[in-house]
Structure 1
Amino acid sequence: MTAIYLAETPKTELELPDWLQACLLQQKSDSNQTDADLICRAFNFAYKLHEGQYRKSGAPYIAHPVAVAGLLRDLGGDSVTIAAGFLHDVVEDTEVTLEEIEELFGLQVRQLVEGVTKLSKFNFSSKTERQAENFRRMFLAMATDIRVIVVKLADRLHNMRTLEHLDPKKQKRISLETREIFAPLANRLGIGRFKWELEDLCFKYLEPEAYEQIKALVAERRADREARIAWVTETLRSRLEKLKIRISELQGRPKHLYGIYQKMQRQHKEFSQIYDIAAFRIIVETNEECYRALAVVHDAFKPIPGRFKDYIGLPKPNRYQSLHTTVVGSNGRPIEVQIRTMEMHHVAEYGIAAHWKYKESGSSDLQVSSDDDKFTWLRQLLEWQNDLKDAQEYIDSLKDNLFEDDVYVFTPNGDVIALAHGSTAVDFAYRIHTEVGNHMKGARVNGRWTMLSQPLENGDIVEIVTQKNSHPSLDWLNFVVTPSARNRIRQWYKRSHRDENIARGKELLEKELGKSGLDSLLKSEPMQTVAQRCNYLSVDDLLAALGYGEITLNQVVNRLRDVVKEQQPVEEVESELDTEISVSNDRVAPSSSNSNSPIIGVEGLLHHLAGCCKPLPGESIIGVVTQNARGISIHCQDCVNVEKVPGERLVPVSWNSNDERGQVLTYPVDIQIEALDRVGVLKDILARLSDRGINIRNAGVKTSRNRPALISLSLDIRDRQQFEYILQRIQKMSDVLNIHRVINSDR
């Protein structure tokens, strides 16, 4: 099978690009294991596997991998990267495994393919959860080999180029994800040519009317624009040549359409009021000539104050370097000029692909080096992504973190720190080090004490004052901007309540499993195994997580049940599970019937759900004959109020699983949430409930200074299963410390 794939050169109606045809001819004449051989074998393999598959456009599916590989080749990708471009869809769309990919093409190709492969063969409870898990997996793969995201960007760019063949709903969904995630990613990696095209394509599908309007207006002004570009170009060229400045390139070009649209929106102007829709680029040979060329531009045209940026002396985080200035032309219109060397231009166009970073070992894995500050954003993203359990929260934070850093501040030693727009001294402190933020007492900006909530500006010199006994304030969550700072503050509060959370977690287990033998169980090997399988280092870590709601009681008990089954014979397991890991249920419920009542055992009798425990379908229940002529009160079997009732007043009842009335009944449940007190935390919780169609009867919040907020909610719930899902969804939120059901034992 492998020999056929590697030996045959396919005959296809698809017109192969010249570079690939040349590669196939070279493979025929040279049997050595060259780079060309790897590329051709990957193409042959992909061609055979995708044979008979077609895209929505009707084109053979192989056209897509060929186009992706071509984009990677244009970026200067090596043979491994190009081979991954051919193979990036084979695991997802065919029966080929990653192990086969590694066997045929090597470990590096397998890792790249694995990094870009979607989790389409796994089940998730929502599209948001699937999307979040795909991004988590992709960024983890990027940390091993940055080429993963370059392959993914090429894949997304070609998909955007052919998006017209999908239905409008998919066009908008894919375009929105591209504009919010992939275009900023291309910018983070400095791949300008990808970023601009992705943004324009997204603009085309998300704001089609505005796109067509601006496209037409730009075309209308073309003759006037070209005449103006020619005049400015000739003026600058003659002056630069007179000073013997070596010019590699001098040209004017129109800005991309989305850039013009953004400027109109940002400045609240009409198209006719936007004059600098063309930018001039001067490419010279040395850094010194860049600054000389800048002097020529400022001598020829009047510079606009505040519109000069030196990205050569102070490069952007993605390593972009250039001089930017805006001047006024003879007709009074602004002219934007960029000045750079050819090397800087190559980096501006190709980004990370212009300077692949190899590990010291000499292998071609593109490792994200811990001392390479151009990947600071990626390392920070990886630091907090595992702490954000909630899928929606992760996606939102990801979007925020990917946008370009545009505030540059200095440490007292003169080191430059790039922060997101609106960042404060607290964000700065946590960027320096977690402990600096945790022990921060105050901050001096440009030598003066400042409010911690004050946004920093470009050029500020920031000094953080620390004190041993100082600690984060919950108020900081209301003004910090960076996800890393926000997450460090949350982590500190969770750790500071560690003992309390461990006790709470132990109490929950004790209630579920019983007090007898619990201490020995917590010290046992099975419990340690459960902690490890839940991704915690110790049982105490597991108990703390259980206490503040990062993991649910059901998850722990189910994992423990699985571990016990694995480690003991079947007979012993059944016995032990009955005694240790099952909720007490010694009252036998009656058999179900075809009654239309939701509860079996009280047919024709006056009955009501108890207000103390408010039982839900799926929970074991018991009836109690009341002494106040209110009939039978239905309680949970483990309700504390039932323990005080004499046996002669107890009535065996159960939920009617065969209720055929067709209507969906809901039942009231009260919960209390302990959460970090920040602006919008209640809104975020309610949004997650609303997403699942949960009706909220009542909501209340109690706050006190520097203490977590207590949120009380009354919900309408269908059954125990829905309730547990809702608890788990809320517990995953990073701001939630604890969540529990409210039982009123006095009622």
Structure 2
Amino acid sequence: MTISEQYDNLEKTVRGYNSSADFAQIRAAFEFAENAHKDQRRKSGEPYIIHPLAVAQIVAEELRLDSESIAAALLHDVIEDTPANYGQVSKLFSPTIADLVEGVSKLTRIQYATKEDEQMENLRKMLIAMSKDIRVILIKIADRLHNMRTMEYQSPEKQKQKSLETMEIYAPISHRLGMQRIKWELEDLSLKYLDPIGYEEIVSKLDAKRQEYEAFMRRTQDQIDDRLNELSIEHIIYGRMKHPYSIYRKMFNQNKSLDEIFDLFAFRVIVENVGDCYNVLGVIHDLYKPILGRFKDYIGTPKPNGYQSLHTTVMGPDGLPFEVQIRTREMHEIAEYGVAAHWKYKQGGAGSGTEGRYEWVRRLLENQEGADAEDYIHSLKVDMFADEVFVFTPNGDVQNLPAGATPIDFAYAIHSAVGNRMVGAKVNSRIVTLDHVLKNGDIVEILTSKNAKGPSRDWMKIAKSSEARSKIRQWFKKEKKDENIANGRSAFEAELKHCGIPMRDVLDPEILPGLLKRVSYGSLDEMYAAIGYGGFTAQKAVSRMQGELNRVAKLHEAEKALEDAAEAKTAENAKQPSAPKRIRSEQGIIVEGLDNCLVKFSKCCTPVPGDDIIGFITRGYGVSVHRCDCPNASLEKRSLPGQEGRWIKVSWGSDTNESYPTLLEVVCKDRQGLLLDISAALSSTNTFVLGINSRSTADEFAIFRIEVRIRDSQQLKALMNRLHQISGVLKVTRPSG
């Protein structure tokens, strides 16, 4: 099919469900995308425009979205992969379309400390985009579906990586959005690359028995159809085989062969109203023997994604079990298309989706605040993928929780105050332990007390839902700050000891800021508190600090060699008082007896050539050069315990830099035009100014701090003399210490 024919097919599909769509806009988007991608090719060798066209076709055919979504699907790669930008798309089409395109564009790659951090940030961005406009994720899922359909052109490594990401992120999101058909296809395509042998085995076995299975499905379908016609119940019925991944999961989880799998076949009966759903259920149970414990009423208790249906598994006359799903037309639309089925498109305006129905997106974001990356991704998979269990309050209200949920999850689902005051629980009027696993239909009563001490730290391990874990974390964060800091410090120090790292290295004031940056906390107490309430782990903290500590350890070795060399030089000079050998300078500084030494100028006194200077061997940053009159280099400081061997002679070399930054403080009697006179003095002495700060005092004085670049002390002296000559200037000094 040519590109032109593919576009015509897209227009035909859109006309089929939305004849009032903005076809001029869709055509313009196609032409713009075709031109923007004209020099690009896909891995298959096809022109790149094939991909946006295919994505738009999925958006139209599978999801039936509005014309803005079709245009955005056609344009979804232009901002990222071509010179086109947001402003251009916004001007040519609309800000809404530009927002959709930007939201769908592949997430920016950022360097994260771990793969989990990167995945968490990408998921967060995706969820934020979903909460703003659900169409962003619908188009993104269509984009991923077409990429999976054409995955054979990628390298085996890329196939596995993308398939795993699809299975872990895109299929669960499709499930939560109720888009079952797309979810099944994404799972099957992912399985094909993640376990090609398992996939082929299932497909080949299904193909081998296809005739036998199809004959069984025809007979069963005819039986149900005839009985419903006799009872004059209007209906549509069709059967289907379970899709390969669904079979694979059951075989893997239940350790069964294909022949042992229950409900390999499923029949759908679509009727006019809810009353007919229950009538049909009676007919099915009359025709076939129902299997105990295999009936689910999702009409009375819908799934969180809006799914409603009656499910029952029965035994056929041939001894083959099969599932029957009974639903109304509206329920069927929601089951097939999910959120897209609710979509209402408006002529000439932005589509209005049902974001309100998908409040769970915002809850997912809120529940993860304070969680670390690994916990975030784990919770997300539980929230999105886990089967639900429906339980009741004593008043008969339904609560849906993830499978495996406990009374702790139930209590926090009611309210955080109920969870925090919980002292026990009853299930079906019997007292149970807090780790009791709830089952469908359980009636749960939470026992509370005003004198309750609050949640236990063990509850974090018992709770299954991210909502409960988040609320427990928040309680510990708020109520037990001192205890958290103490527990966090203890865990951190134990982990340091386990890794053979002395605590003094972490506490070194020169190293600590770099370490805190690695763990993204402002202070050690903040980090301890996070470890204490479970938002971070001691293992992760030490692991992230280890690189910086290793770097510092190597520098310590170099510094030790530096100190030894300095001592050896002093001893040699004592024996032979000849002029010391001059070594090559670094930034205009000669460190006596040492070569290739890292040098930095201290910010406390900002020395310039001509100043009397002294060097201090730092931990991790080479030799720090101070002015001899700097309070931080006073004789008292130099004689402190452990400091003596770290002070070293340094001098200015002949190859100094062109200029050095330094700081002046000017104290003046405040008056009009003062800043103008100071600026004139700086200009007349050809001084390069880095910055000026000024402040006035209550007694009408003005204090200026001027950062300048200076060649040497002679130029500095001339500048200070010039500033002294200004009317009202009382004092010009060089701050230090």
TM over 0.5: yes
| Distance verdict in 2 for CA 1:652–1:312, change over 3 Å | same
Please tell me whether the aligned partners of residues 443 and 449 of structure 1 are also in contact (alpha carbons under 8 angstroms).
yes
Choose which of 464, 484, 490 in structure 1 pairs with 2:467.
484
Please tell me whether the aligned partners of residues 425 and 462 of structure 1 are also in contact (alpha carbons under 8 angstroms).
yes
Choose which of 21, 35, 43 in structure 2 pairs with 1:48.
35
Please tell me whether the aligned partners of residues 390 and 401 of structure 2 are also in contact (alpha carbons under 8 angstroms).
yes
2:581 aligns to what?
Answer: none
1:16 aligns to what?
Answer: 6
> Distance between the aligned counterparts of 1:352 and 1:417, measured in 2?
22
Alignment partner of 1:45: what SS?
A: helix
> Distance between the aligned counterparts of 2:353 and 2:231, measured in 1?
43
Please tell me whether the aligned partners of residues 242 and 264 of structure 2 are also in contact (alpha carbons under 8 angstroms).
yes
**When the two structures are superposed, what TM-score results if normalisation uses the length of structure 2?**
0.66
Alignment partner of 2:41: what SS?
A: coil
> Distance between the aligned counterparts of 1:209 and 1:77, measured in 2?
37
* Aligned alpha-carbon RMSD (Å): 3.9
2:415 aligns to what?
Answer: 433
> Distance between the aligned counterparts of 1:344 and 1:404, measured in 2?
22
Please tell me whether the aligned partners of residues 14 and 60 of structure 1 are also in contact (alpha carbons under 8 angstroms).
no
How far off its partner does 1:15 sit?
4.0
1:380 aligns to what?
Answer: 363
1:168 aligns to what?
Answer: 156
Matches within 5 A, 1:70-89: 70-74=57-61, 75-89=63-77
> Distance between the aligned counterparts of 1:77 and 1:142, measured in 2?
15
1:302 aligns to what?
Answer: 289
2:248 aligns to what?
Answer: 261
1:580 aligns to what?
Answer: none
Matches within 5 A, 1:243-254: 243-247=231-235, 249-254=236-241
Please tell me whether the aligned partners of residues 117 and 373 of structure 2 are also in contact (alpha carbons under 8 angstroms).
yes
Letter in 2 for 1:473: S
> Distance between the aligned counterparts of 1:646 and 1:146, measured in 2?
63
> Distance between the aligned counterparts of 1:438 and 1:511, measured in 2?
40
1:599 aligns to what?
Answer: 561
2:442 aligns to what?
Answer: 460
Matches within 5 A, 1:135-146: 135-146=123-134
Letter in 2 for 1:110: A
1:346 aligns to what?
Answer: 333
Matches within 5 A, 1:358-507: 364-366=351-353, 368-369=355-356, 372=357, 375-388=358-371, 390-470=372-452, 471-498=454-481
Comparing 205-214 and 453-462, the one that deviates more: 453-462
How far off its partner does 1:354 sit?
0.6
**When the two structures are superposed, what TM-score results if normalisation uses the length of structure 1?**
0.65
Alignment partner of 2:102: what SS?
A: helix
Alignment partner of 1:492: what SS?
A: helix
| Distance verdict in 2 for CA 1:465–1:447, change over 3 Å | same
2:79 aligns to what?
Answer: 91
2:221 aligns to what?
Answer: 233
| Distance verdict in 2 for CA 1:535–1:652, change over 3 Å | closer
How far off its partner does 1:495 sit?
1.6
> Distance between the aligned counterparts of 1:50 and 1:141, measured in 2?
25
- Identical pairs, percent: 47
1:111 aligns to what?
Answer: 99
> Distance between the aligned counterparts of 1:304 and 1:110, measured in 2?
53
> Cα deviations across residues 235-257 of structure 1 (Å, max 9, x unaligned)?
1111111111112x212211101
- Structure with higher Rg: it is 2
Please tell me whether the aligned partners of residues 66 and 345 of structure 2 are also in contact (alpha carbons under 8 angstroms).
no
How far off its partner does 1:642 sit?
9.8
Matches within 5 A, 1:466-615: 466-470=448-452, 471-498=454-481, 545=526, 548=529, 599-603=561-565
Please tell me whether the aligned partners of residues 192 and 348 of structure 1 are also in contact (alpha carbons under 8 angstroms).
yes
1:189 aligns to what?
Answer: 177
The count of aligned residue pairs is 538
> Distance between the aligned counterparts of 1:217 and 1:616, measured in 2?
71
Please tell me whether the aligned partners of residues 442 and 464 of structure 1 are also in contact (alpha carbons under 8 angstroms).
yes
> Distance between the aligned counterparts of 2:222 and 2:35, measured in 1?
54
1:645 aligns to what?
Answer: 641
Choose which of 207, 212, 217 in structure 1 pairs with 2:195.
207
> Distance between the aligned counterparts of 1:353 and 1:24, measured in 2?
14
> Distance between the aligned counterparts of 1:183 and 1:42, measured in 2?
28
Alignment partner of 1:305: what SS?
A: strand
> Distance between the aligned counterparts of 1:216 and 1:286, measured in 2?
40
> Distance between the aligned counterparts of 2:329 and 2:451, measured in 1?
53
1:634 aligns to what?
Answer: none
How far off its partner does 1:499 sit?
6.4
Choose which of 301, 316, 322 in structure 2 pairs with 1:329.
316
How far off its partner does 1:547 sit?
6.2
| Distance verdict in 2 for CA 1:43–1:23, change over 3 Å | farther
| Distance verdict in 2 for CA 1:485–1:357, change over 3 Å | farther
How far off its partner does 1:368 sit?
2.8
> Distance between the aligned counterparts of 1:535 and 1:511, measured in 2?
18
| Distance verdict in 2 for CA 1:95–1:122, change over 3 Å | farther
Comparing 154-163 and 642-651, the one that deviates more: 642-651
| Distance verdict in 2 for CA 1:451–1:94, change over 3 Å | same
> Distance between the aligned counterparts of 1:190 and 1:232, measured in 2?
28
How far off its partner does 1:393 sit?
3.5
Please tell me whether the aligned partners of residues 501 and 544 of structure 1 are also in contact (alpha carbons under 8 angstroms).
no
Letter in 2 for 1:320: Y
Choose which of 47, 51, 56 in structure 2 pairs with 1:69.
56
1:629 aligns to what?
Answer: none
> Distance between the aligned counterparts of 2:13 and 2:264, measured in 1?
41
Please tell me whether the aligned partners of residues 328 and 335 of structure 1 are also in contact (alpha carbons under 8 angstroms).
yes
Moved over 6 A (4+): 23-26, 499-505, 541-544, 595-598
How far off its partner does 1:440 sit?
2.1
> Distance between the aligned counterparts of 2:530 and 2:74, measured in 1?
44
How far off its partner does 1:44 sit?
1.6
Please tell me whether the aligned partners of residues 486 and 528 of structure 2 are also in contact (alpha carbons under 8 angstroms).
yes
Letter in 2 for 1:601: E
Please tell me whether the aligned partners of residues 118 and 134 of structure 1 are also in contact (alpha carbons under 8 angstroms).
no
1:280 aligns with 2:270: no
Q: Which runs of 5+ in 2 are unaligned?
A: 489-503, 511-518, 533-554, 569-616, 625-632, 651-737
How far off its partner does 1:266 sit?
2.4
1:320 aligns to what?
Answer: 307
Alignment partner of 1:431: what SS?
A: helix
Alignment partner of 1:279: what SS?
A: strand
Q: Which runs of 5+ in 1 are unaligned?
A: 1-10, 27-31, 514-533, 552-591, 607-614, 623-636, 655-747
> Cα deviations across residues 316-349 of structure 1 (Å, max 9, x unaligned)?
1111111111111112111221111221111111
How far off its partner does 1:617 sit?
6.3
Please tell me whether the aligned partners of residues 145 and 367 of structure 1 are also in contact (alpha carbons under 8 angstroms).
no
